[in-house]
Amino acid sequence: MISGSEIKNILLRIVKNDPVLGVIAEIVKDKHAPVKEDDVKERIVIVIPGGTDNGQFSRSYPRICIYIPDVKVPIGNSNFYKPDNNRLTELENHCEEKFRSSIYHKHGEEVCIFVKDTITMEEDAETYSHFLNVRLRFEVVNTKL
């Protein structure tokens, strides 16, 4: 069996070793540091909502959340924030390519499989960002043949 913490550690290594995603300065598990309007930057957070089903076939849906700062557009005396669509599209295309096929990872005696389930773009107004929510399907077979 494999724990949610181990799945996050495996994904953390996969993301950090990626030539595109790995150059993003902040790559963390569970939660990113608080940000202010003037210090927001690109960051990646790896989470597993709901944990792992550790039955005969372990299954989970970890997410890689890639935050991209919004573009500030001054309007009169205030600012309007809009998504950085060019950067979001660039990273979405990369993630589509990277996770289109299964990624296999050996963890002890077990073979883990990660494959893309969905990729959606969402807004996080509190952090002046939009993010890609890359939902992966994770499975490992805990049986010996």
End-to-end CA distance of the chain: 16
Banded model confidence at residue 142, pLDDT cuts 50, 70, 90: low
The overall pTM is greater than 0.75: yes
CA 40 to chain CA mean position, Å? 18
Percent of the chain clearing pLDDT 90 (strictly above): 53
Q: Are 70 and 88 in contact (CB under 8 A)?
A: no
CATH topology of domain 4-141: STM4215-like (3.30.2000)
Check whether 145 has a pLDDT greater than 50: no
**DSSP states of 57-114 as a string?**
EEEE--EEEEEEEPEEEEETTEEEEE--HHHHHHHHHHHHHHHHS-EEEEETTEEEEE
Q: Which residue ranges make up each domain of the chain?
A: 4-141
The tens digit of pLDDT for each residue in 17-46 reads 999 999 999 999 998 888 888 889 999 999
Banded model confidence at residue 67, pLDDT cuts 50, 70, 90: very high
The secondary element (H helix, E strand) that includes residue 135 is strand 129-141
